Homo-oligomer: A and B are copies of this chain.
Amino acid sequence: MRGFAESVMRGPRTVAEQVANVLREAIANGTIKAGTPLRQDELAEQFGFSRMPIRDALRQLEAEGIVSIHPTKGAQVAPMDSAEISEIYALRELLESEALRLSLPNLAGAKLDEAEQVLDQIDAERNVGRWGTLNRAFHLALYDACGNHRLLGLIEGHHNAADRYVRILLSNLDYRSRSQTEHRDLLAACRRRDAGNAISILRQHLREGSETLVSAIVEDGLARKS
């Protein structure tokens, strides 16, 4: 049972993974906009590889819900309307509140300290791109002791799927500070082991995020009409 650490610790072992990572980031930071068709030979030429690893990467991203593939029609960056965002956030509320409920009683104090450090890093961080990662790290740290790996996987997946939209939120400095306030409130409730309060803060936090995001997108027309 030694393969695990290697496959997780070490960076991308295959070209497909590297391509997937680059594409994921490009989609997240808006370099590639929603709805853009992703042509295999085009990408292959840009990356300097053949189409095979690109195909694999696209399959992977499809599994993550970031791109959608129709047979013989190719792949495109998954267009997302406000309805889909509402769905994702509704699921996050469901999954993450459950994870928090399960995790909190078993959560070591060290993990809470770790989460707090992440919050400090967020305050210090200037690069918007890293904020999404830190945000995810904070949330996952709280759920770490939930004891259900699949649940954690689903949560992480939804964070990734929403990542590019979360970054829209962060361009709004007002939201960012509110978010951090809520994060610290949430952390405080966790330290008090007040599960009920913590969960309700979390739900409120996600609901605000959802509403802010939907209205921002409707205004700016960043998502497809439908």
- A: residues with CB less than 8 A from B are 3, 7, 13-14, 17, 52, 55-56, 59-60, 62-63, 70-73, 84, 87-88, 90-91, 94-95, 98, 148-151, 154
**How far, in whole Å, are A26 and B94 apart by their CA atoms in the complex?**
34
Contact A151 B13 (CB under 8 A): no
Contact A150 B91 (CB under 8 A): yes
User: In the complex, which residue of chain B has the Cβ closest to the Cβ of A95?
Assistant: B94
Contact B13 A71 (CB under 8 A): yes
**How far, in whole Å, are A14 and B154 apart by their CA atoms in the complex?**
28
- Of the A-B pairs whose beta carbons lie under 8 Å apart in the complex, a sample of 26, sorted by A's number, is A3-B70, A3-B73, A7-B70, A7-B71, A7-B73, A13-B71, A14-B72, A17-B71, A52-B52, A55-B56, A56-B59, A59-B59, A59-B60, A60-B63, A62-B63, A63-B63, A84-B150, A87-B148, A87-B149, A87-B150, A87-B151, A90-B148, A91-B148, A91-B150, A94-B98, A154-B154
Using Cβ atoms and an 8 Å threshold, which residues of chain B touch A72? Answer: 13-14
User: In the complex, which residue of chain B has the Cβ closest to the Cβ of A6?
Assistant: B70
Using Cβ atoms and an 8 Å threshold, which residues of chain B touch A91? Answer: 148, 150-151, 154
User: In the complex, which residue of chain B has the Cβ closest to the Cβ of A148?
Assistant: B87
Q: How far is the CB of A124 from chain B (nearest CB, A)?
A: 34
Q: How far is the CB of A207 from chain B (nearest CB, A)?
A: 15
List 19 other contacts, CB 8 Å, given A7-B71, A62-B63: A3-B70, A3-B73, A7-B70, A13-B71, A14-B71, A52-B52, A56-B59, A59-B60, A84-B150, A87-B150, A87-B151, A88-B150, A90-B151, A91-B148, A91-B151, A91-B154, A94-B95, A94-B98, A154-B154
